[in-house]
Amino acid sequence: MQQPIQEASSPDSKVWAGDLFQRQDFADFLTGYLVAKSCPPDEKGHRPFSLALNAGWGRGKTFFVSRWAEHLSIQSPRHPVMHFNAWASDVAADPLVAFMAAFKVALDREVDKLESTAEAKFAIQAGVEKVVSGVRRAYLPAAKVALKGVVKKLSGVALDEVSEALTTGDVNVDAGRIEELKAEGRDAAEKGLDEFFKKALAEQSDLPQVISSLRIAIESTLARLAQEGNLKLPMFVFVDELDRCRPPFAIALLEGIKHLFGVRGVCYVISTNLDQLAKATGAVYGSGFDGGGYLKRFFDVQCELPTPSSLRFAQFLFSTSPVIAAASANLGHGLPEGGFTDCDWGSAEHSALCWVADEFGLDLRSQEQVFGAIEASVSTLRDGRIHLIWLATLCAIRHKHPAVFDDITRPNGSNLTNAWGVMGIAGRPHSYMSYDSQAGRHVQRTVTLLEVAERYYRNAFKCEKLEKRTPAHGLDYPNHWLQHLSSLGSHSELFRYFAAVSSAGYLSRSGAG
């Protein structure tokens, strides 16, 4: 069976080991592009820049950005890198607090790596703390937290909860300020919410200046860090799995990053499914809201992650499955020996899925769903040879046309020729080399998936005599795949596949993007 790609010796090769979709070159292209856009040659210094890396579910977004981030971190000179898994942080009460924590960890990690003097490291660390403090002032003003406490007070909740919110929440406020806020809360409760709102707004009248100071603090800290640590700006911040988050969390995170962290010297790569994210905005702003137009304001450019080839994706699925690995000794792909001469699918286990995916027009998501059914069925068909081309065909029919599948499982149901017509599949012949025993030489022939599937189908119901003889040659296709079929009562062993695929069809694969 297809083996996982082995790690090579160079650092880059180790980072991209297993890159069956061959995306390292695309990562290098994007790196060059983002560096050029964040520091245009006709401008002095850096500028903020953000890229939306768009791809549907199952397209390998997480693999790509994690390897890309690691790749950047080992370059010389290397870029500061932060990789923020938004979905893993979705349990946090506030998205930007979780993001700020990760941002600080990334900066602290770079400070720890410095070989500079203690004085320089102290100055940079002070800058990091100033950034944290600036975020607190800009995003988590004390009046906002106190306002929540006042609302609780007016609804009958003890005012002590204001103190609890401040001392156990995600913002640091000294003890003296807590007492002041308690007093302010009592006054506001007495005077009414209108007066308190005025006070809260007044406290935030300097917000533009606060945000400006925050951005300056981030920029200066990064510049000093780059100088002392032989780092290359921009800093790359990867935000992954945003489309899997709760809509309010996802939107609040994007808005916070845009308004507070859109600074010079930082490039953002937001890895997501833009269609899903646009729909998520409807859950926040209403179903009639233009989510797609709204999202464009957050990104300087949108980029589609290249779609991997069906062959590469099939190789990936088979090479990473422990179920397939455990059953490898019993698997037979069911294609001609040597594969087809008019395509590059080869003649390994994954080749069966390539042929079926091509015949049924499966996109990558459907291909993964069909593979999931194959995998589940293989786990139950443990005894004897497993005929993958027959199994994959049944799984594809069950996935795309459940009613047709139910019909063909009955002995008096439709034959596969009628089923192909109902499914609207024209069928494309493929060329292969066969052995002509009469002529005593190899000849080129063509075959369709329907022709091969019909042979298996008829044998499943014992509609034709099972082959007991040994084919004269390994190129006697497809007869040599059928010779070892055994009888199970009134049917052949192929009949068991119907029940296995039927049960597997109720499963649904899920996973990261």
CATH code for the domain of 86: 3.40.50
Same domain, 439 and 318: yes
> In the prediction, which pLDDT does 484 show?
67
Whether 135 maps to a domain, the answer reads yes
Residue 155 exposed, middle or buried by CB count within 10 Å (0-12, 13-18, 19+) = exposed
Same domain, 123 and 35: yes
**Would you place residue 49 in the very low, low, confident or very high pLDDT band (cuts 50, 70, 90)?**
very high
> In the prediction, which pLDDT does 263 show?
87
Same domain, 294 and 437: no
Rounded Cα distance between 396 and 317, Å, is 16
Whether 6 maps to a domain, the answer reads no
Q: Could you give the angle at the alpha carbon of 323 between the alpha carbons of 341 and 57, nearest 5°?
A: 75
Taking a C-beta distance cutoff of 8 angstroms, is the pair 398, 373 a contact? yes
Whether 492 maps to a domain, the answer reads yes
| Structure token digits, residue 285 | 């702003």
Same domain, 417 and 271: no
Beta partners for residue 135, in sequence order? none
pLDDT single digits (tens) 69-120: 999 988 888 899 999 999 988 877 778 888 888 888 888 888 888 887 777 7
Same domain, 479 and 396: yes
Whether 104 maps to a domain, the answer reads yes
At which residue do the structure tokens 């007093």 appear? 183
Tell me which residue of 124, 129, 112 sits closest to 172, measured CA to CA.
129
For residues 33-62, average pLDDT: 82
Strands 301-304 and 49-54 come out as parallel
Same domain, 466 and 357: yes
Same domain, 320 and 245: no
Q: For residue 391, is pLDDT > 50?
A: yes
Q: 462-474 burial, b for 16+ CB within 10 Å, e for fewer?
A: beeeebeeebeee
Question: DSSP label at 245?
Answer: S
3-state class of 431 per DSSP? Answer: strand
Rounded Cα distance between 487 and 348, Å, is 27
Rounded Cα distance between 119 and 371, Å, is 58
Tell me which residue of 136, 138, 76, 67 sits closest to 104, measured CA to CA.
136
pLDDT single digits (tens) 178-221: 566 556 555 554 444 445 445 544 555 566 777 777 788 888 88
Same domain, 238 and 379: no
Q: For residue 404, give its domain range.
A: 310-504
Taking a C-beta distance cutoff of 8 angstroms, is the pair 203, 137 a contact? no
Beta partners for residue 447, in sequence order? 430
Instruction: Detail the DSSP E strand segments found in 314-457.
Output: 331-332, 386-387, 430-436, 441-447
Same domain, 315 and 414: yes
User: Which residues fall within 8 angstroms of residue 299, CB to CB, at 6 or more apart?
Assistant: 50, 51, 52, 270
Same domain, 333 and 292: no
Is the model more confident about 357 or about 434? Answer: 357
Whether 374 maps to a domain, the answer reads yes
Taking a C-beta distance cutoff of 8 angstroms, is the pair 442, 434 a contact? yes
Same domain, 220 and 357: no
Distances (CA, A) of 35 to 31, 60, 67, 78, 409: 6, 24, 18, 12, 58
| Cα 367 → chain centroid | 16
Rounded Cα distance between 105 and 128, Å, is 10
User: Which residues fall within 8 angstroms of residue 190, CB to CB, at 6 or more apart?
Assistant: none
Whether 182 maps to a domain, the answer reads yes
Number of domains comprising the chain? 3
Q: Which helix (H) or strand (E) holds 361?
A: none
Domain boundary among 270, 304, 338: 304
**Would you place residue 2 in the very low, low, confident or very high pLDDT band (cuts 50, 70, 90)?**
very low
Whether 424 maps to a domain, the answer reads yes
Residue 287 exposed, middle or buried by CB count within 10 Å (0-12, 13-18, 19+) = exposed
Same domain, 180 and 89: no
Strands 81-85 and 235-240 come out as parallel
Lowest mean pLDDT among 36-40, 403-407, 508-512: 508-512
Domain boundary among 159, 176, 203: 203
Q: For residue 276, is pLDDT > 90?
A: no
| Structure token digits, residue 36 | 């050029």
Tell me which residue of 239, 238, 250, 258 sits closest to 277, measured CA to CA.
250
Rounded Cα distance between 203 and 383, Å, is 74
Whether 131 maps to a domain, the answer reads yes
Peptide bond into 471 cis (omega under 30): no
Domain boundary among 274, 304, 334: 304
